[in-house]
Each structure stands twice: as C-alpha cells, then as structure tokens.
Structure 1
Amino acid sequence: MKTKLNSTVKLLPSSKEDDKLIMQFVDFIINSKLQMSASIYETALVASIKDADNKPLYPELLAQMITLQSKEWRNLSIRKESAVSHQAFLCTLVLVNALLKFNTNQEHDECIGKGIQFIQKCIPIIKDDTINFVGSEMIIPAQIELLIEQTNGRTDLLHQENIPILKSLLSNYESIRKYKLDNFSMKRPSATWFSLEALPENLLDINILNHFINKNGQFMSSPSGTAAIYKMNPDPRILKYFEEAKNATANKGLPITYPMNIFESIWIIGALINSDFSNQFITKNFKPLLDMIEGNFSNNGTGSAKDFPPDCDDTSRAVFSFSYLNVNSKYTVETLKQWYVENGKYFKTYHHEKDASMSANVHALQAFLESNDVSKTEKEHLWDSILTLLENNAIKESPTNIYWTDKWMSSPLYTAEGVIYTIINYQDQFPQRKTNIHHKAINWILTRQKDSGGFETYAEYGPTMEETAYALIALVHYVRYYKDQEILQNVEENTAFVQKLRVSIKRGFSFLEKNKEQIMNIDAHPPLWTCKALFTPYKISISYVLGAYFLSKHFLSQEELNLQKNSLSA
C-alpha cells in the first residue's frame, strides 16, 4: 500500500483566505447542482427535434448554438493533432445537419454555407490524426452521410466535387465501425448504446429501448441518445429530462452526459487523494459522495451514473479510494478482473473495446496495489504488465522526453500525472522491476511550462489552471521522493536538476496564486475532458486545481522551513 502522507490542509499555516476558499469549495461540491459545461454537440442534436408542425421544438437552443459555433468559424486556426480542432469540426458538422432539417425556405443558407466551408477546410488537416472522441467511429460517419444526404441537389451548398473530401474521412472509421455494428446487440446494454443517435434505426427495437428509459426520462445519461429515442417515441418524460439536464450547465445548453454524479464523485475524491488531503478531511466533508458511490455498487462494478453500464475506470477508482481511505466497502478488485485481457496484459474500460486507455490502466493498477486482498505475486505480475503497456505506448518527443495520449482526457498532462504518481508511490514494493518512464515524463512536463509559469497543451487555450494542476501534482510527488536521492549519476547535475524542478513548482504555484480568485469560477476552466466531444466537469476540474494549489503551497512552505532550520544549525 502507498505510504499515507500528512494532510495538506492541516499542515498549512492557517489564513482566513485559505479557510474561506476551502469552505467555499466544500459548499460548491456538496450543494451546487451545476455539473458540466454545455455541449454544442448534444445541444444541436436535441435542438434538431421537430414539433408537430415540423418546426424546431427548441428554437432558442438552435439560435444559441449558431452564436457559439460562429466564433469557431471566425477565429480558430485548425491544427493537426488538436482536440480543440476536432471539437470545432464535429460540433460544426452536427450543427449544420441540425440547421438543414429546418431550412425549408433556405433561411439558414448563409450559416450552413459557412459551416460546410469550415468542415471542408478541417478535413485535409485532421483526417490522419490519432485523436478520437468517444463514439466518433459511429458518430462522424453517420453525420457525414447525413450531410451528403441532406444537401443532395443543393450544389450551391455542397458541390459534387467536394463530396470526396467528406468521404475521405469515412475510411478512417470503416473497420472499427463495422466491428461495433457486428457486435451490437439489443439483448445486452453496451457502450455502443451510448452512441444510439448514430446507429441505423433498423438495428433498434423501440420496445426494448423504452424499458431502459428511467423514471426521470433519460436513456443512459445521454441527451443525444435520449433525443434519438424521442424521435421514435415522443415520451413526455423525456422533455422533463431535457429541462433538468439544462439546469446542470451554466448557460442552459445540454451537457455531454447527464447525470454523471457517480463519475463526478469518484474523481473528486481521487483528486483530493492525489493532492494529499487527509483521510479525515475527505471522509468528514465528503461523506455524501462516498455514500453515493457505495450506494451504486453492483456485482459488475459501477458506471458513471446509476443507469450507465459498469466500466473498469470508474470501478477502479472507486476500489482504490475506499482502500486508500480505509473505509469499508463492497467494492473489491475481484470485480475488475472481468476487464483484464490476459493475452494482451492490459485492462479494457468497456467490453468490446479495441483500444486501451492508458489512464484507465493506471487506475486499475492503483486499485490492485492499494488492496490488502491481492497477493504479492499478482501485484508483481500487474506491475510488470502495466509498466510494459506504458513503455510500449509512450509517445517519444525526444530520447529523454515522453508522454501519453488518452481517450478520456485530451491533456497528456493528466495521464502523465497519473503515471508519475503511481510509480513514485509504489515503486519501492517492486525493486526487481524498475523503469525510467517517470523520469522521461517529468522532462516532458517541464517543456510544457510557459513564461507565465502555467502549463499548456493547446495553444488555442494557452496555459490553464487545470493543466498546471496536473503538472504540479506530478512535480511535487516526484521532487519529494527524489530530493535526497540521486536521479542522475553526476551529483552536481542531480542537485541542479532537483533545483530546476523546485523552481518549476514555484513558478507553477505563482501562476495559480495569481489566478486564485478564479479557481472557483466555472468559466475559467476550458473543456479538456473527452466524451463525444470536449467538456468541463466543473467540480472535478476545480478539485484538481484547488488540490494542487494547496499541495504545492504546503510543499514550498515546508521547503522554506527546512532552509531556515539548516541555516540555524549551520
């Protein structure tokens, strides 16, 4: 098990400002109904629902999405391997298709034309990228086919010679799309059901689907999937669900998924653990979250919400959190074994998944290593397997710099933080299986720090508080472990390197300190998390930022105290 560290909050010099921030944070986490940013993707699909007169059921949503997306057409520079560029492409594609449904009198021609031009501009740049959103292998082909169908005969909007540009993207998804459709079944819910809006209607049985609409009117926490069912069967409960879901966002659009309270609760707890908040602080202030997670237990694990299929990632983090906090729970590592692929030596997040998530595998490894119910032999096997997976899937920016991309989070800093945290806190248990990937990941993290002291992945956003938080958590754990050990063979080089890391932490903390008043501002955290499109889970993002703020503040204050002690003893 990981060595428990002292409470970040308890050991900090007390200040009224810090106490106020902590109280504000706890109140927001426990009492606020806001969950995440609105998604143009989800909102446009709900806005495409027609009323009895074939007019928009939600005209105000359609108008709102036009205003938001038009900013992308004017200002965004399309970049390769940029999740932000993929976001703009997908949301434009979906919005154009929604407008085409209500373009009888060609009233939306100007907006549709600009959107199609933007789409055509994007495809040659992004078509060979490795970035994929959740369900994109189903959603993007379905939306491109719909665009071609809806513009048939409108060569003024989409000329025939430009159709091959659109179709050039379809081949990227052909294999995985076929695999998902071949394995699709109405007999058992799966992750493919989450992309219901992109499935051919001839595969769907509305009578079966109706049984999966819960009493609140939602289907698998997906507004777009629920909208697809409403078009087949206009259940009035669904309209109530849309209204409730809109209230979970700040600007009353539709969120990428709702509810997601289990995922949200699990990741908040995880952020606080990684930031070294004490067990007592977490269990006392966030007992309602722990109770909610425990209440959603099933023999198959847990998903992101009550009616969502269980998955390895949410279940792993739940198992880890209860073990780490020493809280009795029904969650055990036995549940996780259903997702382990023995011949590939990795964990799937969902059944029928073809590409592994690096962060989900790190979380599964943490759960096994933290458990008292796993043998040393099994821990050694998994430690070797997951390290090998990470070593083989690292992206080498240089011989000494590596990072990982992940399907659930667009920022590689998030995955790098998880890898470094895990290796630092558990490597002493496995002296026979060493690795250097955390050293190389730290080197890469340093390259992402900007003049402001903040860290960034996407130039479109610039340095963000959330990405700075991931970097700081990784750096603090790394320096605290290695400060009295030799990382490099040369002692002088080692001392200089550790000092370089300390300076980086100080600059990163200064960036958060300057933006301290914005930590609790939900609009100050741009969308980095990945689902069908990018989104910001307000409470999770803020938990990481606030946690990193106090973690690095405590680290720097302890460093200062140590310097004072050393000078006095000298």
Structure 2
Amino acid sequence: MSDGAFRVLADPATGRDPATDAARELIAGLALRPWGQVAASVYESARLVADAPWLPGHDERIGFLLRAQRPDGAWGPPEGYALVPTLSATDALLAALADGGGTRTHLLAPAARGLVVLSGRLLAADARTLPDTPALDLIVPALVESINDRLDRVTWEQLPTPPLTLPPGLGVDRLRAVRAAVAAGAALPTKLAHFYEVLGAMPTDAGPTLTAVGASPAATAAWLSAAGPDAGPSAHAFLRELIRDGRGPVPCPTPITVFERAWVLSGLRRAGVAVNPPAAVLDTLTAAATAATGVATGEGLPTDADTTSVALDALARLGRPADPAGLWAYETTDGFCTWPGSEDGFSVTTNAHVLDAFGQHVAAYPDADARYHRTVERLSAVLPAHQLADGPWQDRWHASPYYATACCVLALAEFGRGGAAVEAVDRAAGWVLANQRADGSWGRWGGTAEETAYALQVLLAAPTGAPRVTDAVARGHAYLHRPAGPEHPPLWYGKELYCPTAIVRSAVLAACRLAAVHVPGADRSVVDCGYQATKTST
C-alpha cells in the first residue's frame, strides 16, 4: 500500500486538507520543542525529589506525586507496571519526610499506603511475571534497598517498618556487579547511562559540557548531586528548562529528538498527509543515512536499529531515499537486534521497521544488490513467525499489542513478499475486528485513542472492503472524534511506561485521515481526536 493509494481530502468550503493543517501545527511543535514532548514521569520526578531536593520545583514535584497516587496506594499503570513507579514515589516521600524535619507529616499517610501495596502485592509477584521494562533488575533492587535504609532511620509510628523483600526470582547480583564496574571506571554499554541514578557512581566521562546523562533527568540530577554545585552548567540548564516547562515534574526519556521526529514524519506521510518539515527537523534524520551505525533516539543514548530504520523510512517518504546499509551492523541469526551485542529478547517492531527501511530501498532501486532483496524476503517470513496464534503481535517496547500489530501489518502490507505475509495481515485484521469495544474503541486495559488509531491502521492496511470492516472503521473513527477524556495512559516502555505525546498525537491524526478517506460521509474535520495528555516538553 503506497502513499499514492490515499487521495487528498479537501474541505469543500476552503479546498484545504484539514489533516494537513493539523499536521503543520504538530510539525511546528517539533522544531519549537527540540528535546521532544513527553508526559510527566512519576519515576523521574520522584528521583529528583529523593536525590536533588535542591533543584527548583521540589514542592511542586511532591504535589505531583501526591496527586498521581492511585486509591489503592500504588502509582502508575495496572498490573506489574506499577511496581517501579510505586517504589520510586514511596522512596521519594520517605526522603521528603526525613528532610522535612517534622514539617511534612502530611506525607505519612501516602507513604504508608505505598509501603502497604508494595509489601502486600507488588513485590509479592514472581519476577518472571513482571513486565520486561528496561533495567527492572537494577532499579527494583536499588529502590528496595533505599527504602529499607530509610525505614531503618525513621521513628514514625504510622509507617510499617518490616523490611521490604525482593520479588521471588529477583536478586541483587547484577546490581552489585554493575555498581562495582562503574565505580572501577570500567567501560560499560552506553545505554546504562540511562540508569546511572541507581548505580551508586557517576560516569567518568561526564564533564562541564554534558547536557543530559543518558537522556534522563534522574540520571542527570544524580550526577550533578555527586559532582558538586559547580559541575555541569549545561546539565543544570537542561534540568532547569525541563522544570520550568513542566512547573516541577519532569519527563522521561528526554531528549527524544530523533525518535519523535522520525515517528511523526514517517507516520503522517504513510497516511498520505502532506508535510513540509523545516530543514532543522529534517537534518536531524540524515545521520541515519550517513553514520556507520545510524542514529540514536536522542542525546545521551546509543544508536539503535529501531530509530535508524524509522528515520530512513521518513526520509524516503519525504523524497530523500538513502541506503540502509548501516543496518547490517544490527543483523543477527534471528533477524535484527535493537542494539548490537547488548540486547536480551527479540523486538518485532524493530524488525518491522527494518523491513520498512529495506523495502523502501528496493522499491526505489529494483536493481539493488541481492542482499537487500534477500533481507526483505527474510523479514517477510520472520515477522509472521513471531505472530501470536490468534493474530496479534506483542513487543518489548510497548505495552499494547495494537502498536506491535500495526507496525508489523503496515510493513508486511506494503513491503512483504510471499503468502505468509498476506496470511499474517489477514489474521491480524481478523483479531482486530474481533476485539473492538462496544463504544467503537480498542485497548488493552480500556479503550484509548492511541490504540484505536493503531487498530484502524491495521484494518485500513488489510486488502478488504468487507462491510464489516467499513462498519468497524466508522465506529472507531467516531470514537476518535468524541471530546477528549482523561489524561491518555502511558503505554511506551521506559523505566516505567511513558507517553510520547507528539508521537501519539500523530498516530491518531494519521488514523483520522485514513478513516475519513475510507468511510463514506465521515466527519472530515480534524479535531483533538479524543486525545489528551499532560505534557512536559521543551
């Protein structure tokens, strides 16, 4: 399915495409907020409360944590996704209690509720059942240790004092080994910088020109706290800017400059939305074509195949096709890894995006080397092999199967070769049809605009015009045009689940446009599309 398959929608009164106007506004935001737009993080904001109370906005971050606590005492999304943010927030409240000298007794009750839900439920789960969020095996032992140390030093009768225990199957050996290596100055994978706040030592290569340690406010603040008040003026400025923008709470990950720009531009162009990004936005993607191993999500993170592939796809859709040869560095016996030599598990969405990148190249250059064609054929078989029995895909970078399924279906529908690719797309569309909610939405825990957008993209990529599909698309499109509800839930994998608001907004916008083309008489206006999130951006 090519960009040309979607005709331009024009407003009958003005002759303008409302999706293009909305996209223009969204892309302007990419240039105005170059670090990216990400919703406020409980985990990161709590780390600043605990580790950097000297930063401006301390009381505002405490207030944010109090407002974000759930009625059951936990923080964050459902299931095991609540463990990391609840540990971080509880530890932060205990730190604020200790620092407050008796002036913060209003924090006792929420801290106690956090301790109860941790000891009674969240830490009781077997480690094998916990979500595979990055560095969970470092973060959880570090925060359990910190909370227990704080409880040993307090005398508040309102706080339960028995020590917390680690989830069965989770130990401290890896945390101790990494801490010892960092303290000894060992060369560690670049991506570990993202978690320096729990490693007990700071990066030896950090200096006065450093902006952000590991694209993380928490890691940056921990380094500043350890390095002293005169260190890192650029890092100080980075945190102050984040704090000013969010009025206290901070996001994570950030910066996500290339990640955000690649996903927004690729998704909008794929949906046939006309975009004309400024040169400053496009230039950040060109390293995907020129650097030996591609580009990173943002400053402070390692280069990766996922961001590189989507950046290459965006460039191709914008008329700047580039050779994806740099992706060979990520090839493995199973497909393509996200980071070479330092990744556990297999990402179907990374491999779907690699298929997009190579598919674009062979479409533009049919006489390309046979290796490129073999890669397209290989991934056309690899992705169906990872499809679940009932039709969806699940991935390690997003909590919702609708995201993974949309990534795989879009790549296979446009570039896939062979019967397995066709069958996989059909099975995925059948699964989506079977799981639409009564209100027209889709979602893992409840209907969301983001997941509904992905579901619509799956249905509209499948080569079928069945009335049942048209009805489902019409109902999903109507759901996206309802007034925005509560804050959009975080679904993307980081230290905790997070919400990259501009990326989610672009996915919803793309789905609105595609559905409006497909459904006769559909509302062609581009409204907020049912999307709302509290943004912390720069």
Using the size of structure 2 for normalisation, the TM-score is 0.83
Instruction: Identify which of 24, 34, 37 aligns with 1:35.
Output: 37
Separation (CA, whole Å) in 1 of partners of 2:14 and 2:81: 41
1:291 matched residue in structure 2: 283
2:40 aligned counterpart, secondary structure: coil
Which of these residues, 243, 252, 256, is aligned with residue 246 of structure 1? 243
Deviation at 1:88, TM superposition (A): 2.9
Paired residues of 1:402 and 1:441 also in contact (CA < 8 A): yes
Structure 1 gap ranges (5+): 484-497, 561-570
Per-residue deviation at 1:60?
Answer: 1.3
Question: Relative to 1, partners in 2 of residues 1:499 and 1:178: Cα closer, same or farther, differing over 3 Å?
Answer: farther
Partner of 1:45: 47
| Alignment of 1:482 onto 2:464 | yes
Per-residue deviation, residues 304-355 of structure 1 (Å, max 9, x unmatched): 12443211111011112222333155xx3111111111x3333334541111
More displaced stretch, 174-183 vs 262-271: 174-183
Structure-1 residue corresponding to 2:96: 102
The residue number in structure 1 matching 2:264 is 268
Would you say the 8 A contact 2:179–2:200 is kept in 1? no
Task: Look up the match of 2:304.
Answer: 311
> What amino acid sits opposite 1:413 in the alignment?
Y
Residue matched to 1:493: none
SS of the equivalent of 1:402 reads: coil
Q: Encode CA deviations 1:81-114: one digit per residue, 9 max, x unaligned.
A: xx53334322121122122223335634333211
Provide the C-alpha distance between the structure 1 equivalents of 2:454 and 2:86, rounded to a whole number of angstroms: 30
Q: Deviations over 1:183-241 (max 9, x none)?
A: 9774465211211112242xx454x2226x52xx3223210110120121132623321
In the superposition, relative to structure 1, how do residues 7 and 476 fare at CA in structure 2: closer, same or farther (>3 Å)? closer
User: Structure 2 CA distance, aligned partners of 1:389 and 1:152?
Assistant: 52
When residues 387 and 23 of structure 1 are mapped into structure 2, their CA distance, relative to the original with a 3 A threshold, is closer
Is 1:553 paired with 2:516? yes
Kept in 1: contact 2:43–2:85 (CA 8 A): yes
When structure 1 is superposed on structure 2, of 110-119 and 297-306 the one drifting more is 297-306
Please state if 1:321 is matched with 2:323. Answer: no
In 1, distance between residues paired with 2:215 and 2:152?
34
Q: For residues 212-227 of structure 1, what are the structure 2 equivalents within 5 Å? A: 213-214=209-210, 217-227=211-221
Q: CA deviation at 1:3?
A: 3.8
Q: Which residue of 2 aligns with 1:115?
A: 114
Change over 3 Å in CA distance of 1:286–1:129 after alignment to 2: farther
Structure 2: which 5+ residue stretches go unaligned? 524-538
1:455 to 428, 437, 442: 442
Aligned equivalent of 1:542, options 489, 500, 505: 505
More helix by share: 1
Amino acid paired to 1:420: V
Quote the Cα distance in structure 1 between the aligned partners of 2:28 and 2:48.
Answer: 29
1:502-541 matches, cutoff 5 A:
502-515=470-483, 518=484, 524-541=487-504
1:267 to partner: Cα distance: 0.6
Is the Cα–Cα contact under 8 Å of residues 135 and 195 in structure 2 kept in the other structure? yes
1:88 to 82, 90, 93: 82
The 1:321–1:183 alpha-carbon spacing in structure 2 relative to 1, beyond 3 Å, is farther
Distance in 1 between residues matched to 2:200 and 2:259, nearest whole Å:
29
| Matched position secondary structure for 1:36 | strand
Structure 1 distance, partners of 2:415, 2:93, is 53
For 1:436, what is the secondary structure of its paired residue? Answer: helix
What is the identity, as a one-letter code, of the residue corresponding to 2:441?
G
TM-score by length of 1: 0.78
1:521-569 deviations in whole A, cap 9, x for unaligned? Answer: 9x75332222111222121111111111011101123999xxxxxxxxx
After the TM superposition, which residues 394-433 of structure 1 pair with which residues of structure 2 at under 5 Å, given as runs?
394-396=387-389, 401-427=390-416, 430-431=417-418
Q: Report if the CA contact (8 A) 1:49-1:57 is conserved.
A: no
Matching residue within 366, 386, 398 for 1:393: 386
Summarize deviations over 1:460-490 as a string: whole Å, max 9, x none. xx31111111111110111xx234xxxxxxx
Q: 1:188 to 1:125 in 2, by over 3 A?
A: closer
Residue 300 (structure 1) shift = 2.6
SS at match of 1:305: coil
Residue 199 (structure 2) aligns with: 199
CA distance in 2, matches of 1:544, 1:254: 24
Does structure 2 retain, via aligned residues, the 8 Å contact 1:38–1:252?
Answer: no
Provide the secondary structure at the position in 2 that maps to 1:541: helix
Q: What's the CA shift for 1:438?
A: 2.2
Q: Relative to structure 2, which stretch is displaced further, 294-303 or 374-383? A: 374-383
Post-superposition offset of 1:176 = 6.9
Question: Residue 69 of structure 1 contacts residue 92 of structure 1 at CA under 8 Å; is this kept in 2?
Answer: no
Q: Is the 8 A contact 1:190 1:351 kept in 2?
A: no
Whether the 8 Å contact between 1:340 and 1:347 is mirrored in structure 2 is yes
Q: Is residue 499 of structure 1 aligned with residue 492 of structure 2?
A: no
Q: Aligned letter for 1:101?
A: A
8 Å CA contact 1:339–1:350 kept in 2: the answer is yes
Equivalent residue letter for 1:242 = L
Task: Give the conservation status (yes or no) of the 8 Å contact 2:23–2:268.
Answer: no
Instruction: Check the 8 A contact 1:134/1:407 in 2, yes or no.
Output: no
Preserved contact between residue 40 and residue 249 of structure 2 (Cα < 8 Å): yes
Letter paired with 2:226: M
Counterparts in 2 of 1:24 and 1:293: CA distance versus 1, 3 Å? same
Identity of aligned residues (%): 19
- What residue number does 2:152 align with? 152
Whichever residue aligns with residue 144 of structure 2, its letter is I
Q: Is residue 345 of structure 2 the alignment partner of residue 360 of structure 1?
A: no
- Give CA-to-partner distance per residue, 1:228-272, whole Å, 9 cap, x none: 2012113262332112123454x6410112221211100101211
Find the residue that maps to 2:490 and give its secondary structure: coil
What is the CA–CA distance in structure 2 between the aligned matches of 1:475 and 1:286, rounded to whole Å?
32
Q: Deviations over 1:13-47 (max 9, x none)?
A: 54569756643442243145371111011111112
Aligned 8 A contact 1:349 1:357 in 2: no
Equivalent position of 2:329 in the other structure: 338
Pair 1:466-2:458 in alignment: no
Contact 2:6 2:271 in 1 (8 A): no
Separation of aligned partners in 1, 2:55 and 2:504: 34
Report the CA distance shift for 1:548/1:221 in structure 2 as closer, same or farther (over 3 A).
same
> Do the aligned partners of 2:384 and 2:420 also contact (CA within 8 Å) in 1?
no
Residues 19/179 of structure 1: CA separation in 2 closer, same or farther (3 Å cut):
farther
CA distance in 1, matches of 2:15, 2:490: 28
Q: Quick check: 1:370 aligned with 2:360?
A: yes
Contact 1:313 1:364 in 2 (8 A): yes
Structure 1 residues 340 and 90: alpha-carbon distance in aligned structure 2, compared to 1, 3 A threshold: same
